[in-house]
Each structure stands twice: as structure tokens, then as C-alpha cells.
Amino acid sequence: MKKENYIRLEFPSKSVNEAFARAAVACFAAQTDPTLEELSDIKTAVSEAVTNCIVHAYPQSIGKICLRAAILEDNSVEIVVKDWGRGIDDIEKAREPMFTTGGDERSGMGFTIMESFMDELRVRSAPGRGTTVTMRRKISLRGKRAG
């Protein structure tokens, strides 16, 4: 599907950058005229994806996170969050609610939350080589754009 517009950001896996990534995607997605609920859902999904990189991909070090977002011709927002960290051994298991490798303080709900707030969620990973999470959310047409 054709991209109408896009951004690419790269930042270190520091927890302070989670809020930056969330805000940057929200500002970018605003051009689609989303409802507050749609925007909140996108921000939450981005927050979960970036937090997964910080906590799971680079648990003992600071690594690189790449975030790409695109507005597609069907007025959907596609977001890709990629890391080059330790990867996921069993993606199916990692996507199960309550499963975590992050210790007792983690809920294990990251992928479940992403999946519930987005229309599409794809996860690709290779142990020792990193993970790529691709999410897509269709933005409803409102007001004068709908007619």
C-alpha cells in the first residue's frame, strides 16, 4: 500500500525515550484527524513496543531502537519498532497474556495490549539478532473528509 507520508526516528534504549517516541508518533498520526480514543490507543501501543525493547531486548545494556511510522493511502497508521537486541526465542509463547521474561515487576501484557489497541500486529524475531514489531491502525474518516 502506498505511503502518503512517513517518519523515521532512531534513539538509545533509555527509559526517558519511551515518552518521546509516544509523543512523536502521536504528533505524526494527528494529521489523519484521529479521535482522541484512536490517538490514545496508538500512543499506548507505541509505549508498549518501545518499553519491550528497553526491558527485554537490552536488559543489561543500552542499545539502538528504530521507530518508523507511515500514513498509508487508506488513512491507516503503520508503526514499526525495531531493535537489535537479544531477540525472542518463542514468539508464540511471548505473545501469551501474562508471559514475561522481565521479572516479577512486569505484567507480561505488552503484546496483548498492542494487539487489542491496533488492527494488526506482526512480530518477527531472531535470537541474538533482534525483534521487529509492526502495528497498523485504521483511522476512521470523520466530518468533511468522510463525505
DSSP 74-105: TSEEEEEEEE-SS--S-HHHHTSTT--SS-TT
Which one of the listed residues 68, 75, 95, 106 is annotated catalytic? Answer: 106
- Which member of 17, 48, 78, 86 is catalytic? 48
pLDDT at 108: 58
48 is annotated as an active-site residue: yes
Which of 17, 22, 52, 78 is flagged as catalytic? 52
Fold of 3-146: Heat Shock Protein 90 (3.30.565)
pLDDT at site 110: 73
What's residue 141's pLDDT? Answer: 82
Mark whether 95 is an active-site residue. Answer: no
Cα separation of 85 and 70, whole Å? 24
Give the per-residue pLDDT at 113.
Answer: 87
Mark whether 106 is an active-site residue. yes
pLDDT at 91: 75
Mean pLDDT by 10 residues, the chain (147 residues): 95 97 97 96 96 92 98 97 92 67 58 91 95 96 59
Complete edge-to-edge strand list for the sheet that includes strand 3-12? 3-12, 64-72, 76-83, 130-138, 120-126
- The model carries a pTM of 0.88
Map out the domains of the chain as residue ranges. Answer: 3-146
pLDDT at res. 99: 57
